Amino acid sequence: MKTKIITRTVWILSIVSLFTDTASEMLYPIMPIYLKTIGFSIVLIGVLEGFAEALAGLSKGYFGKLSDNSGKRVPFVQLGYALSTISKPMMAVFTFPLWIFFARAIDRFGKGTRTGARDAILSDEATPETKGKIFGFHRSMDTFGAVLGPAIALVYLYFYPQDYKTLFYVAFIPGLLAVLASFFLKDKTIAHPIERKPTPFFSFLNYWKTSSSQYRKLVIGLLAFTLFNSSDIFLLLKAKEAGLNDTAVIGIYIFYNLVYALCAFPIGIFADKIGLKKMFLFGLLLFLIVYFGMAFSTNIYTIAMLFFIYGVYAAATEGISKAWISNISDRKDTATAIGTYSGFQSICTMLASSLAGLIWYQFGANSTFIITGIATIFISIYFSFFVENKKIL
């Protein structure tokens, strides 16, 4: 008898992620504009986003470890999605800077609470041979939210220009649907013994010392890549420089996410057949093409093609990297392993965007893309020769 690969639990988690990403991405294009209208300077926006990412990063590691220690997954997932949902209308209720910091912190804290536990559930629902498929399916559903969200925002702002505050209330609706859907999840009985003892906030850092050399080599490579993989904002700025207006820039961002969403699942299936490492290296090759292409192109149609390739790159790396980590980690440590990586990744992403912004300011946009491309060549060589792809069964 053939077992179902996309289980009920995977479907529920994917639907929850779809609704949540719809809510978050609805606000992503208008967040900087809204913050400016309520008196935030560019510097204060930068401080807010940096603080929010750092909080999300540190909490991912801690809650991943706490989930493994407690043997529970679902409560962390439910709490995480609930916190992110509550934060949406909070940003519209009061506009004091301290309150905005508090609301943004709750949103990122929610992401940190759920990430490790959610990915551990996905890992538990797969076998080593179907990890790419399961994580790819989840990424596809999640990223469809990044298509729906900005599209809803564009349509709303077309009829109600500059009515940003109402969008925060609208975003609460899909967020609430995500929370309600999460109550259909059930924790499985954990086969391994549970470590019931206090979990200090930075205890996840100890996992780095006790983890396998295979895990450390993989994560070092992934984090090195993250340090040079700056925010998508820089690609959108390049598109704007090439002559696209604001609506077209949001449109090309939706197009990128649509390509990503459509490709993540089939790429995940193919990755299971050829190996996660090969698929990840293919993704890095596509990334190289995009960044070198962005450095030397000003043609709108070429840039649109590069955004298409960028969508395929994202599908070939983001879900694949987590599937790879879960394949080389002990099942009882899955949430800690993914949470620790995701935590460090958040910090590196923050540093990457700061570094890219500095290079852009000092030497121009082209230098940012060329330096990133050159760094990716060395990172690809590292993955080819120093990172293994053995599975822990």
Mean pLDDT (10-residue bins), the chain, 393 residues = 73 96 86 78 72 80 89 94 94 83 88 93 92 95 94 88 88 95 85 60 78 93 91 82 81 92 96 95 97 89 94 96 92 89 86 82 87 95 86 54
- Kindly provide the residue ranges of all beta strands, DSSP E only, lying in 253-308, ordered along the sequence: none
Read off the DSSP letter of residue 388: -
Identify whether 200 is part of a domain.
no
**DSSP string across 54-83:** HHHHHHHHHHHHHHHHHT--HHHHHHHHHH
Q: How far apart are CA 59 and CA 112, in angstroms?
A: 5
The predicted structure's pLDDT at residue 231: 75
- Token digits for 17? 């992620």
pLDDT for residue 19: 97
pLDDT for residue 2 = 41
Which pTM was predicted? 0.88
| Sign of the CA dihedral with 141 first, then 144, 146, and 152 last | negative
- 198, part of any domain: no
**Separation CA 343–CA 305 (nearest Å):** 32
pLDDT for position 305: 96
The pLDDT assigned to 1 comes to: 33
Domain carrying residue 132 = 8-187+207-386
Assigned domain for 129 exists? yes
Residue 192, domain member (yes or no): no
| Residue 298 confidence (pLDDT) | 81
Residue 286 lies in a domain: yes
Q: Looking at the domain assignment, is residue 250 inside a domain?
A: yes
199 assigned to some structural domain: no
Tokens of 256: 């990128």
Of residues 178, 170, 175, 207, the one with CA closest to residue 62: 207
Model pLDDT, residue 353: 77
**Which residue is associated with the tokens 């560019």?**
42
Distance of CA 139 to the CA centre of its chain: 9
Is position 195 within any domain? no
Cβ atoms 5, 133 nearer than 8 A: yes
Domain count, the chain: 1
Query: 232: domain CATH number?
Result: 1.20.1250.20
Question: Residue 129 is encoded by which pair of tokens?
Answer: 């041979």
